[in-house]
Amino acid sequence: MNQTTEPITNRTAEEFLKGLWKENPVFVMVLGMCPVLAVTNTAINSLAMGLATMFVLVFSSLLVSLFRNWIPGPVRITTFIIIIATMVTVIDFLLAAVVPDIHKELGAFIALIVVNCLILGRQEAFASKNNVKLALADAFGMSAGFVFALFCIGAIREILGSGSLFNIPLFGSTFEPWVVMILPPGGFFTLGFLLLFFNWRKERKERAKEVI
């Protein structure tokens, strides 16, 4: 009994964890750059965007995985997009109803989750080939990694660009905010430095392995 269940749980955990770190969609695969650069000017916006993406990815993966045997190959991409677009519109309505202020801030970027290649990519590469349990683990892992990455960028940009985190001022009135950090260039700077850091770590690890 134990022999059959253990590898499966291990596999589920593995599929979940890979998205968080080893195959992080932003820092490693560099997917979904549009929201990563555009709406990460505050920590709260980043979190909201990440969670909206999580909702879409998890439900899309669930549906695609459930129906994977009924969807014929030639129309699979079209079907995935129908599913994704439906989920995006649902979350768009829900955000407008429940958190109108955040919905206003994110504006068109909610609707643009449809074209986030992270989501379609996971459907094609994973959910359409695996069972529901693994697909959900993969979707939760990948979107948790996405939320984490967005939050890192958003927090750095808000701290430097507005001198606050979650709208709570961190420094005294003597702090002169770096306005550039909450403007579009700040997104590129922050992402660039974070990618530099992650690649540097990766390279160092690989070199350490080679030595061994």
Interacting residues toward another protein by CB under 8 A: 41, 69-75, 78-79, 82-83, 85-86, 89-90, 93-94, 96-98, 100, 104, 107, 161-162, 177, 179, 182-183
CB nearer to another protein: pick between 85 and 112: 85
Identify which of residues 12 and 79 has a Cβ nearer to another protein in the complex: 79
Shortest Å, Cβ 46 to another protein: 13
- Contact 136/16 with Cβ under 8 angstroms? no
In sequence order, the 6+-apart residues with CB closer than 8 A to the CB of 50 are 143, 146, 147, 148, 150, 151
User: What contacts 180, CB < 8 A, 6 or more positions away?
Assistant: 161, 186, 189
* Minimum distance, C-beta of residue 129 to another protein, in the bound complex (Å): 10
**Of the two residues 20 and 58, which places its CB atom closer to another protein in the complex?**
58
Contacts of 124 (CB under 8 A, 6+ apart): 76, 77, 80
Nearer to another protein, 85 or 194 (CB): 85
**By the 8 A CB rule, do 186 and 155 touch?**
no
* CB of residue 67 to another protein, shortest distance in Å: 9
